[in-house]
Amino acid sequence: MSKPIPAAAFERVAAPAPLAAILKAPPAADHSVHVVRSFDLPTGLFATTVALYFAFLGVMAATFADKGLAIPMAIFSITIVMAFGTPAMWVRMTPDHVARPLTWSRFVSDGIETLTGRLSGAGAITQMLMLPVLILAWGLIVAAIVATI
């Protein structure tokens, strides 16, 4: 439970320094924050992921072509755009971050450091694209099943 503090217990201080004295003070050390918002992954991986998700939506829209699916497909599309658009805007945010996304060749040759250790470029690509590829494959299998019925 909180205890009330009487006003007499507060310490009185002198008036703050005038603004002119503050402005004439020597410049302080550079305390700017340098951040890395690029996720250490090339932009092409994110674009490929988005393309695979939209390919899945295209397969589903073509397989189950119906006017009633227009709103759900629009909702799915907006969700995908928001899920990848927000981090894309975050990377471009100010203050400027210290690193740009890795180039494709450097990513493939150097790999990436993860919480569980270093991954090669091919391993990271496989890990990142596994889910979207499997979702698209599942959509193609469903489309093939519907086509044979």
Distance CA 89, CA 103 (A): 19
Compute CA 132 distance to the chain's CA centroid, rounded to the nearest angstrom. Answer: 16
pTM for the complete prediction? 0.71
How confident is the model over 72-118, as pLDDT tens digits?
999 999 999 999 999 888 877 766 666 677 788 888 888 888 888 88
Backbone region of residue 94 per phi and psi (left: phi > 0; alpha: psi in -120 to 50; beta: other values): beta
- List pLDDT tens digits, range 54-78: 999 999 999 998 899 999 999 999 9
- On the CB side of 69, CA atoms within 13 Å amount to 11
